[in-house]
Structure 1
Amino acid sequence: MQIIVLALEGVFDTGLSVILDAFATATSLSAQLFGGTPRFDVTTAGVRRKVRTAQGLTVPIQAIKPASKPDWVIVPAVIAGSPAELFAKLERPDVREAQSHLLKWSAKGSRIGAACMGTFVLAETGLLDRQEATTTWSLAPFFRQRFPHVQLDDSRMVVPCDIGVTAGSAMGHLDLALWIIRQASPELAHTVSRYLTADLRSSQAPFIIPNHLAQADPMIRSFERWARQNLKDGFSLQNASKALATSARTLQRRCDAILGKSPLAYFQDLRVEHAQSLLHGEGHDVEAIAAEVGYADGATLRTLLRNRLGRGVREIRAGFE
């Protein structure tokens, strides 16, 4: 399998490294345990001769060959401190040139993968329009606003689509590499994950911080404050919209545009977050926590936690210890 890792100036050090390490480990283990098949021939390429990482390290880069047709092209994250900085980087000449290459590779049949902020680079080409995708959860509201035609699901860690695959935040680079290895050999991917003490994760949901998402929009910030003050009382769209001096329809539409979910779903996110913090404390049984976040009984809360986080009460508490 021929793979090009497309490294741009300011590439995320860890993201680039874990991709290269995962495929190097896969090739080594394949040679030792699987008769050398599959093999992953990985090239770190770019539009410049040298690239500096976000931490200032210099990465030697191979020039892109115009006639190349790799099986996969992977776009690691380009680190930015804010959405405005990231959007400015998308306008850089080297990024525009890289996007031109992505379009040509895709037209030739190469599959494209991207992780974390690298998904913004890919989405800017238009290749993700009308495709399912994920991205770093922390910038999901800004992704939705910039790329409204992409079907974003930031709760998932890895999302395949017609043109390739996208992955979520930071260590999602490793999930992306393991997913691609798995397409070639599920058994090899399992072995690589054991050697790297990592595994494919299906969800980013346990890592999402609702308060962070709310900062993307003034109305959502106000709704979050109202929701936190009313967790015990339960959700009412009419009461929420009245408190925010807006219509129920406007609040619904704003939550969908910024958060990709309904006001009720975000309200439940806040319930889950608060319940988790109480579970990490001492002296709170499940029934008391359920009452604190507005549920009639512990069974309902247990179901919500399991559905949202993929973990039960014991697992949540054990993970904190």
Structure 2
Amino acid sequence: MRICVFALDGAFDTGLTAILDTLCTANELAMLRGADVAPFDVTVVGTKSRIKTAQGMTMAVEPARDVEHSTQLPDWVVVPALNAKLPDVLVPALARRDVEDAKSYLRTWHERGIGIAAACIGTFVVADSGLLDGEEATTTWSLAPLFRERYPTVKLSDSRMVVESNGRVTAGAAMGHLDLALWFVRQASPELASHVARFLLIDNRSSQAQYIIPDFLAHADPLVERFERWAREHMSQGFSLESAAQALHVHVRTLQRRMEQVLGKSPLAFFQDLRIQRARQLVSNGCDLDTVATEVGYADASTLRNLLRRKLGRTVKELRSD
């Protein structure tokens, strides 16, 4: 499989190297296991001949124009994240000249049948090119509200770690670069992917849900932030959409619409997320489960126990050992 890693100035060093190191390790393990040829032919490309990463390291890369005119096209082009973790840094970065050039290359390569993949903030570059319009995708959970605002036609599923959709593959936050690289290895050999994961101590993470911090997302919008405060103050009393809307001085439909626009979920679903977050914190601190259930508004401990296992994929005992 021929893969071009499309690195731009200001690339997130960990993301870039995670992809390269994982694929390199896959090649090494495959050869040790008797493969005749390495399964991955990996090249780093850029809009120019050298890039400078976010940590100030320079790297020689193959110019993208050479790839465009090559007779041996890659099977996939992978876009690692830019080191732009906040909206006021990311939005200007997406308008940079080299990023605009990168988006043009991506569109051309896609038209020629090359698969396009990205992880973390790299998904914004692909989405900005228009290649995710109408497709399913994921992104770094912390910037999901911005992603929804900028790309309303993309079917965002930000709780998922890796999403494949018609020749596009996207992966979640920061360490999602590892999951994306493992996805490629799995296409070559599920058995090899298992060996690489064990060799590099990469956990099996199909979801970002357990890492999401609901109150961080709430700050993306004033009304959502006010609802988050109301929810925390009334958590033990249970959920009432009408009471929440009345307390916030908005119509029920207004609150529902804003929550869907910003977070992609209903007020009740977000209320449940806050409950889970609070319960997880209390359980980790050693609180009795009956006490925790009462504080977060559940009738009994068994209901909460089952919910924690279903939502977090972990038992109460495992949470206490954190």
Give the TM-score taking structure 1 as reference length.
0.97
**Following the alignment from structure 1 to structure 2, what is the Cα–Cα distance between the partners of residues 309 and 6?**
34
How far 1:15 sits from its partner (Å)?
A: 0.3
> Which residue, out of 252, 257, 263, partners 2:256?
252
Q: 1:142 to 1:183 in 2, by over 3 A?
A: same
**Following the alignment from structure 1 to structure 2, what is the Cα–Cα distance between the partners of residues 231 and 38?**
55
Moved over 3 A (4+): none
> Which residue, out of 211, 227, 234, partners 1:223?
227
How far 1:38 sits from its partner (Å)?
A: 5.4
Residues 116-265 of structure 1 mapped to structure 2, 5 A cutoff: 116-265=120-269
- The 3-state SS of whatever aligns with 1:175 is helix
**Following the alignment from structure 1 to structure 2, what is the Cα–Cα distance between the partners of residues 309 and 295?**
17
Amino acid at match of 2:127: A
**Following the alignment from structure 1 to structure 2, what is the Cα–Cα distance between the partners of residues 135 and 147?**
12
**Following the alignment from structure 2 to structure 1, what is the Cα–Cα distance between the partners of residues 121 and 292?**
36
- The 3-state SS of whatever aligns with 1:246 is coil
Q: Is the 8 A contact 2:39 2:188 kept in 1?
A: no
Q: Hey, what does 1:55 align to over in structure 2?
A: 55
Farther off after superposition, 49-58 or 116-125? 49-58
> Which residue, out of 304, 307, 310, partners 2:307?
304
Q: Hey, what does 1:292 align to over in structure 2?
A: 295
Unaligned runs of 5+ residues in structure 1 are none
How far 1:32 sits from its partner (Å)?
A: 1.1
**Following the alignment from structure 1 to structure 2, what is the Cα–Cα distance between the partners of residues 278 and 34?**
50
- The 3-state SS of whatever aligns with 1:202 is coil
**Following the alignment from structure 2 to structure 1, what is the Cα–Cα distance between the partners of residues 25 and 277?**
37
Amino acid at match of 1:28: E
Q: Hey, what does 2:87 align to over in structure 1?
A: 83
Q: Hey, what does 1:12 align to over in structure 2?
A: 12
- The 3-state SS of whatever aligns with 1:148 is coil
Q: Is the 8 A contact 1:38 1:185 kept in 2?
A: no
Q: Is the 8 A contact 2:132 2:168 kept in 1?
A: no
**Following the alignment from structure 2 to structure 1, what is the Cα–Cα distance between the partners of residues 301 and 168?**
42
> Which residue, out of 273, 276, 291, partners 1:272?
276
**Following the alignment from structure 2 to structure 1, what is the Cα–Cα distance between the partners of residues 242 and 195?**
53
**Following the alignment from structure 2 to structure 1, what is the Cα–Cα distance between the partners of residues 317 and 160?**
23
- The 3-state SS of whatever aligns with 2:54 is coil
Q: Is the 8 A contact 1:178 1:200 kept in 2?
A: no
Farther off after superposition, 235-244 or 28-37? 28-37
Q: 1:251 to 1:106 in 2, by over 3 A?
A: same
Amino acid at match of 1:289: V
- The 3-state SS of whatever aligns with 1:45 is strand
Give the TM-score taking structure 2 as reference length.
0.96
**Following the alignment from structure 2 to structure 1, what is the Cα–Cα distance between the partners of residues 315 and 257?**
32
Identity across the alignment (%) = 55
- The 3-state SS of whatever aligns with 1:84 is helix
Q: Is the 8 A contact 1:74 1:114 kept in 2?
A: yes
Q: 1:81 to 1:113 in 2, by over 3 A?
A: closer
**Following the alignment from structure 1 to structure 2, what is the Cα–Cα distance between the partners of residues 81 and 185?**
33
**Following the alignment from structure 1 to structure 2, what is the Cα–Cα distance between the partners of residues 288 and 253?**
34
**Following the alignment from structure 1 to structure 2, what is the Cα–Cα distance between the partners of residues 101 and 217?**
34
Amino acid at match of 1:203: S
Q: Is the 8 A contact 2:162 2:169 kept in 1?
A: yes
> How large is the Cα RMSD of the aligned pairs?
1.1
Superposed CA offset, 1:46-105 (max 9, x none): 001111111111111111222242111100000114202211111111111111111111
Superposed CA offset, 1:9-54 (max 9, x none): 1000000001000010011111110423551010000001111111
Amino acid at match of 1:25: T
Q: Hey, what does 1:113 align to over in structure 2?
A: 117
Amino acid at match of 1:115: A
Superposed CA offset, 1:264-302 (max 9, x none): 0000000001001101113x2212111110000111112
**Following the alignment from structure 2 to structure 1, what is the Cα–Cα distance between the partners of residues 317 and 263?**
29
- The 3-state SS of whatever aligns with 2:235 is coil
Alignment pair present for 1:45 and 2:39: no
